[in-house]
Amino acid sequence: MKKKQVFEGIIEKVEFPNKGRVYVSEEDCYVTVKNGIPGQKVRFVINKFKNRKAEGRLLEVIEPSPLETRKPVCSLFPACGGCMYQTMSYEAQLKMKAQQMKEIIDGALFPGREYEFEGIKASPKEFAYRNKMEFSFGDEYKDGPLSLGLHKKGSTYDVLTASDCKLVHSDMTEILQCVLEYFTELNAPYYKKMQHTGYLRHLLLRRGDATGEILVNLVTTTQEIYDLQPLVERLLELNLKGKIVGILHILNDSLSDVVQSDETKVLYGQDYFYEKLLNLEFKITPFSFFQPNSGGAEVLYSIVREYIGDIRNMTVFDLFSGTGTIGQILAPVAKQVIGVEIIEEAVEAARENASRNGLTNCRFIAGDVFKVLDEIEEKPDVIVLDPPRDGIHPKALPKILDYGVERIVYISCKATSLARDLEMIQGRGYEVVKCVAVDQFCETVHVETVCLLSKVNPSK
């Protein structure tokens, strides 16, 4: 097998997060091919081969999979990188994701360990579930007209206009279309990542599923100046089902392609919106973490509440706490909750949320978990972990485990990171009691996992 060779084969299975496995009989070798669906017959080109491990790039789908039982609901599928599994039934998606999660957890367990795998919980809504979407400005092909949407699969440059994206509420696509038309009329240039020139970077939209409140965030460089007041007026004239409560202009001259703020200007209204979860209200700012699927978050947090068990008269540490959603959901039945989060504006929102929800036994601290744990005098009885996608920093995890609490609930949005952390967690005397997957990200490759970890009885 050599690079640039072209083969055909059937995707036997797809491993998390998006790795199709194709057996090439003439080479007696499996090739990893991304962006496919189990059962598809595909043509692919080898782009990497070393030590009998091969990776290929999908060229075309020759025959659809038997699992593809429905038509796509979006005009950009399958080219758009936002969705992967629209042509599969939702039941088939759930079955595949559950199997992927179980295989990862099974593979991470120490020999002889057993646990209860509780399958996967569906999202209450399969489509229009996202309360946050980050759209990029660009073009669909080199020197093409301005586009605003999501990147093509496998591309870091080509951007497809997501005017009928079905992952978000129609209010968001209405706003996207309005913004795109405005800057197309002005012939405004988008920011080119390689040359570091241009004006338009991102459109970050956030919409409360329960409240209908919308926060519009336009992200640009400072390289050019445009009058944005006519855009504000156009946006406010849109006939939306929800209500725009804030329009922000975020200035970002960073060389890297990340959404961040050097300076934020409020063009209209306020710089936050409210969302409701499990009878609590949460104030959310542009960059504070909040689960992107509100209905799915209610399912997720209900499981966390169940897994953590009886916490009366107990101190709970909510680490990587974001806007404090988990801590506040647990606070009514705990002695106290202490949350730690590195993003300061999220912590400020968490404090305000706790006050707004009448919770006096919550404390939220801004800072790096690794450093903050040295400064907290209280000791936890139970710990909830909800780290970023890459998991817990290897320097912070030992400090967390040093507390020796009886129960830890670990929430992971990337199961391979969880599997890596489980090696140290088990080595420090914990076992996986039970685990469940929660589909927060329908049609995509991502899935949330919740693990209940318990201190091993020394008599075992």
Question: Which residues are tagged catalytic?
Answer: 413
Pairing of strands 132-139, 448-455: unpaired
459-to-194, 389, 455 alpha-carbon distances in Å: 60, 35, 12
Q: How far apart are CA 266 and CA 225, in angstroms?
A: 16
3-class secondary-structure state, position 20: strand
Q: How far apart are CA 106 and CA 73, in angstroms?
A: 35
Closest CA to 445 of 97, 189, 137: 97
Give the burial string for 346-380 (b: 16+ CB within 10 Å, else e).
bbbbbbbbbeebebebbbbbbeebbebbeeeeeeb
Q: How far apart are CA 383 and CA 397, in angstroms?
A: 12
Q: Which two tokens stand for residue 237?
A: 């004239």
* Residue 112: alpha-carbon gap to chain centroid: 33
Q: Which residue has the tokens 């801004």?
A: 366
Element (H, E) at 65: none
DSSP per position, 174-235 = HHHHHHHHHHHHHTPPBPBTTTTB-SEEEEEEEE-TTT-EEEEEEEE-SSS----HHHHHHH
By residue count, the chain amounts to: 460
CB of 381 closer than 8 Å to CB of 315: yes
Q: How far apart are CA 86 and CA 77, in angstroms?
A: 8
Element (H, E) at 37: none
Local structure of residue 88 (DSSP, 8 states): B
Q: Which residues pair with 48 in a beta bridge?
A: 55
**Residue 384 half-sphere exposure toward CB, CA atoms < 13 A:** 35
CB of 423 closer than 8 Å to CB of 391: no
